[in-house]
Amino acid sequence: EVQLVESGGGLVQPGRSLRLSCTTSGFTFDDYAMHWVRKVPGKGLEWVSGIGRNSFNMDYADSVKGRFTISRDDAKNSLYLQMNALRAEDTALYYCAKFRSDFDVFDLWGHGTMVTVSS
Amino acid sequence: QSALTQPASVSGSPGQSITISCTGTSSDVGSYNLVSWYQQHPGKAPKFIIYEASKRPSGVSSRFSGSRSGNTASLTISGLQAEDEADYYCCSYAGLSTWVFGGGTKLTVL
């Protein structure tokens, strides 16, 4: 069974850091680009960051560029998101998503991990 | 990277058809046919139902169809069923390896 399980969310003060993890199973992890997408409460989805196969490229939304870093460990079938200098507007449910390049879609998603930035 | 514009809510009775619009700009929807649609039921992970604006993956009901014209993409659901009640999101490639989503549309089946 294909699974993506996010972890690492929680309550954090503004300006602090948090590292999210996404552990995957059921597919050949290193064959796929992976992304982070977040859902702000009461708002829509927002693409946050993506990383290519072999960590060939990392891309970020303008809203997180310079503060967030995406990475992957193919040996552990895992995706990460290091979030620094967190702001209240980063409060969201963070999803890990597998990218299917032949369809150009996020074809599999986890259930998300909640990040709350508040003092 | 401004969010794509979707109506906040739409509704329809069982058996009817509804259409959800997704308006972007010439930098995203207007430039690329890489528009996808996602269905999300409460507490569940999003599920893709349309890719490349109008293509339907195997396993998705033929009641779901998509189209794109200019800066606007649309999702049509025909023969509404109670199980279609969910949130729907559009997504478009926005160039330079970035993506943009819509604000989401809550579909209510009356």
- Cβ contacts below 8 Å, chain A against chain B, sum to 66
pLDDT value for A56: 86
Q: What amino acid is encoded at A18 in this protein? A: L
| pLDDT tens-digit map of A1-60 | 999 999 999 999 999 999 999 999 999 999 999 999 999 988 999 999 999 998 889 999
pLDDT value for A42: 87
Q: Are the beta carbons of A98 and A26 closer than 8 angstroms? A: no
pLDDT value for A98: 98
The minimal CB distance from B101 to the residues A46, A59, A62 is found for A46
Q: Are the beta carbons of A83 and A71 closer than 8 angstroms? A: no
Task: Give the gap in angstroms from C-alpha B25 to the nearest C-alpha of chain A.
Answer: 17
The minimal CB distance from B97 to the residues A50, A103, A108 is found for A50
Q: Where are the beta strands (DSSP E) in A18-85?
A: 18-25, 34-39, 45-51, 58-60, 68-73, 78-83
pLDDT value for B25: 95
How does pLDDT run along chain B (110 residues), one tens digit per residue? 689 999 999 999 999 999 999 999 999 999 999 999 999 999 999 999 999 999 999 999 999 999 999 999 999 999 999 999 999 999 999 999 999 999 999 999 99
Mean pLDDT computed over A105-117: 97
Are B38 and A106 within 8 A, CB to CB?
A: yes
For chain A positions 52-91, those within 8 Å of chain B (CB to CB) are: 57, 59, 61-63
pLDDT value for A59: 97
Does A9 lie at the interface with B, CB-CB under 8 angstroms? no
